Amino acid sequence: MQMPLPKEDFPDNFTVFRLGLILYNHIIEMNAPYEVIANLLRFHLNEGYYPNPFYKYLSSDQKKRASRFGVSPRQKVSVITHLSKRSGIDVGCILNEFINWDLRNAIAHSDYILTEDSFRSRGEKLSSSFKISLDEIDKLITSAKAFISAFFVLEREARLSWGGFAERAVPYDPIYKGLMEVLADGDGLMTGYKVHWPNGEESYYRRTPDGVDMVNCFLSSKNETVELFVGMYAQQRSEFSPLVENGREPVYSPIANGEVPYWNLEAAVAKQEPFPAVKVSIKDNQIVQRAVDSDTIK
């Protein structure tokens, strides 16, 4: 653990450790890494996406408490460990290498002292005092920093990889003929997505420096997915799409570079675009409909 501090301002040799302990707890308490890892594991297990990916795996008593106080970091790590074992991808062991819950609690409640060679705490209960050598503390803090650094490096690389597919419209929904566009920022990092419907409507999610834009889509707890609004159905539906009037051409909104996209499934298959097959639940005029498959649309 390296953190150069001017001795004239920080004469206490333990200042580096105290700052390191605060950073350690910040890393353990962060929501985003847990949520991303849990949702990736859920996708791997075909169990869908949800902003709170842990809740469904809690016991009934845990759910009651979580509804009032939220899901604790310990429970999140427990769920990730459970999903890791089921998926055969042992991500949980990485977290357990540096997370020490007694240490976390002692730091959170400022219930500790530092001696020349150890971290000491009286613990949460009588006769539960403990101490950890400063060498071990240093290893735990360094491991936590390595984890969070690796997480954000991989997160950036993943967004950069997907950002390389920006300014394209790829066939996404074979029934309604939706076209998926990856949205990216000036650095080429993926910031969201946009689905262009053939009736001129759009469904999109985008993160910006000013906040999040989420239009014509919402999070469904029932189906554990993102559901989309498609706008008005055609009165006389064409064979091309239920959103296009019979005898009329589809109308798509322009993509980011100003080009107007069009449906070309054969070209997309030939290019082998990287969008995975997904099942979405479609909404019409904010009236909930069940998830649809190709053989249910007439």
pLDDT at position 252: 96
Crossing angle for the helix pair 101-108 and 15-29, to the nearest 10 degrees = 110
pLDDT at position 269: 53
Q: What pLDDT, in 10s, does the model give residues 199-233?
A: 999 999 999 999 999 999 988 877 788 899 999 99
Residues 6+ positions from 217 with CB-CB distance below 8 Å:
203, 204, 205, 226, 227, 228, 229
| CB-neighbour burial class of residue 108 (10 A; exposed 0-12, middle 13-18, buried 19+) | exposed
Q: What pLDDT, in 10s, does the model give residues 82-99?
A: 999 999 988 889 999 999
Residues facing 120 on adjacent strands: 113, 131
pLDDT at position 15: 86
**Residue ranges of domains in the chain:** 15-163, 170-296
pLDDT at position 268: 53
Tokens of 64: 């009651």
| Residue 279 pLDDT class (50, 70, 90 cuts) | very low
| Residue 271 pLDDT class (50, 70, 90 cuts) | low
Lowest-confidence pick of 12-16, 63-67, 167-171, 244-248: 12-16
Instruction: Give the pLDDT mean for 23-29.
Output: 96
Work out whether the CA dihedral 45, 47, 53, 57 comes out positive or negative: negative
Measured CA to CA, the distance from residue 229 to residue 203 in angstroms comes to 7
Give DSSP secondary structure letters for the chain: ------TTT---TTHHHHHHHHHHHHHHH-HHHHHHHHHHHHHHTT----SSTTGGGS-HHHHHHHHHH---HHHHHHHHHHHHHHHT---HHHHHHH--HHHHHHHHTT--EE-SSEEEE--SSTT--EEEEHHHHHHHHHHHHHHHHHHHHHHHHHHHHHHTTBS--EEEETTTTEEEEEEE-TTS-EEEEEEE-TBS-EEEEEEETTEEEEESEEEETTTTEEEEE--PPPSSB-SS-TTSBTTS--B----TTSPPP---HHHHHHHT--PPP----EEETTEE-----GGG--
Q: What pLDDT, in 10s, does the model give residues 97-153?
A: 999 999 999 999 999 999 989 999 987 777 789 999 999 999 999 999 999 999 999
Q: Is the pLDDT of residue 40 over 70?
A: yes
| Residue 3 pLDDT class (50, 70, 90 cuts) | low
pLDDT at position 7: 73
| Residue 1 pLDDT class (50, 70, 90 cuts) | low
Q: Is the pLDDT of residue 56 over 50?
A: yes
